[in-house]
Every structure is written in C-alpha cells, then in structure tokens.
Structure 1
C-alpha cells in the first residue's frame, strides 16, 4: 500500500518529500507524477513506507500540516480505478458496416 500526498508545491522534488517522510520511518519509494504533455509536476505524490505502522504515523502527523506554504492532504492511496468506458484513438466517425 502507499500514501497519497496532495496539495504539493509544483517545485517539490522527490528528495524534499523523502526528507519529510523519513521522520516517520523507512521511505521505500517516492513517485511524483508529471503531466504527459508538459512534463510538469501535477501537485501530488505517492510515498511507500517500510510498513503499515510507519504509514499510519506519517498520515496522522502530516495530514493537514503546513509545508512549503500549503496545507498537505495525506491519506492511504486508493487503488486506481479502471475506466472501461474510455475511448481510444479517433474512432471511425460513425461508420457502419451494412452487410
């Protein structure tokens, strides 16, 4: 499981996030998603800690805390939902096969 960290400054680095969370245990991984088109930070991160107790301690201590001029939103990350209704590509423009 991992931790979702929202409302981050767009200037934050993986090292910055790691330094905050290391106070609560072992930081296994920090992932800072970026926008596909611009390559810029999206304002949130996912942090994996050594175990559930460390994650819980970090969430309790940091949720709502002020950091880099922003109030953090920190909670357990939810599994990504699959969207089966997504449209891929340009489609066929409404063409039909009339056999």
Structure 2
C-alpha cells in the first residue's frame, strides 16, 4: 500500500518528504513524479511506509496540515488506472471522422 501526498511545494525534495513522514514510522520509499517535458516536480508524490498502522498514523496527522506554506492532501493512494495505448481511449483511433474509408465504384 502507498500514501498519496498532494498540494506539495514545487521545491520539495524526496528527503523533505522522508523527514516529515519518518516522524510516524519507517519510510521505505518516496516517489516524486516529474513532468516529462520540463523535468519539474508535478506537486504530488507517493510514500511507502513499513506498516499499515504507520501509514494510517501519518495520514491522520498530515492530511490538511500546513507544510511549506501549503495545506497537504494526504490519503491512501488509489491503484493506477489502466490506459489505452495512444492516449485517445480507443487505441488512438477516432470514430465517425470525415477520414473514414469510402468505396468508389
């Protein structure tokens, strides 16, 4: 299980996150996704802790807490949704477009 941490400052580091969450138990992993094009942090991250009890304690203590000038959003992370290849939901194909194949006789 992992914890979602949102509304993070763009200057936050993995070490910053690890430090604040370590007050509630052992931090196994911190992940801060970055924008593919700019390399900048995206303002959210994920934390894995050693036990579910530690995760629950961290969520209860930190959700809504002000940190680095922002009110944190902290909750259990939801499983990632499956996405279709091509990013258009249907394998990259549009339906009903004017580019449809038509027969000529």
Q: TM-score, normalised by structure 1?
A: 0.87
Deviation at 1:59, TM superposition (A): 0.1
Q: Match for residue 10 of structure 2? A: 10
Change (3 A) 1:97 1:30: farther
Matching of residues 19-34 of structure 1 within 5 Å: 19-34=19-34
Flag the structure with larger Rg: 2
Question: What residue ranges of structure 1 are gaps of 5+ in the alignment?
Answer: none
Runs of 4+ in structure 1 over 3 Å off: 93-98
Task: After superposition, give the CA deviation of every residue in 1:43-93 in whole Å (9 maximum; x if it has no partner).
Answer: 0010000010000000000000000000000000000011331555xxxx9
Question: What residue ranges of structure 2 are gaps of 5+ in the alignment?
Answer: 93-97
Equivalences, count: 95
- CA-based RMSD of the aligned residues comes to 1.9
Task: After superposition, give the CA deviation of every residue in 1:3-59 in whole Å (9 maximum; x if it has no partner).
Answer: 000000000000000000000000000000000000000000100000100000000
Please give the alpha-carbon distance, in whole angstroms, between the structure 1 residues aligned to 2:51 and 2:101: 54
Q: Match for residue 95 of structure 2? A: none
